[in-house]
Amino acid sequence: MPCISFEVKPSLANLGKIFQGMDLRGALQENIEKFGFTVEAKAKPLTPVDTGLLRASIHTHIGNLSALIADYIEYAPFVHWGTRYMRGRPFLVQGLAEAARQFGDEQLARRLDKEISAKLGKV
């Protein structure tokens, strides 16, 4: 039975030219920032409220390919992890879990796909 097949192999030199101007680091940074702010947004409604200080003190700090979501109130660890007298209410961990379910890898995959498609379209 006759078989017709094609094999396409781009040369490595061409691939280097294609991906040379691609901003993969920028795509990663943008998605890390979005994820960090999503964690903050998900954690705040889950934070126990008495005066509102604990909830208001949750902030996201963006670094180079990093996001730090933190609560700097002195009693935050006790509320979050609990004590021998009080059960923990892990608002930051729950916010992280909810953000991970919502965010997933889909946004990053879409952004990278867009970058790659734009570059390959120019070849």
Best CA proximity match to 88, nearest among 119, 120, 39, 46: 46
Residue at token pair 């946004």:
107
pLDDT tens readout for residues 20-74: 666 777 877 888 888 889 989 999 999 999 899 999 999 888 888 888 888 888 9
Please, which residues bridge with residue 10 across strands? none
Overall average pLDDT of the 70-93 stretch: 90
Those residues with Cβ within 8 angstroms of residue 121's Cβ, 6 or more apart along the chain or in another chain = none
For the chain, first and last CA: distance in Å? 35
**In the chain, pLDDT over 90 holds for what percent of residues?**
18
For the entire predicted model, the pTM comes to: 0.68
Ranges of beta strands (E only) in 1-123 are 58-63, 66-71
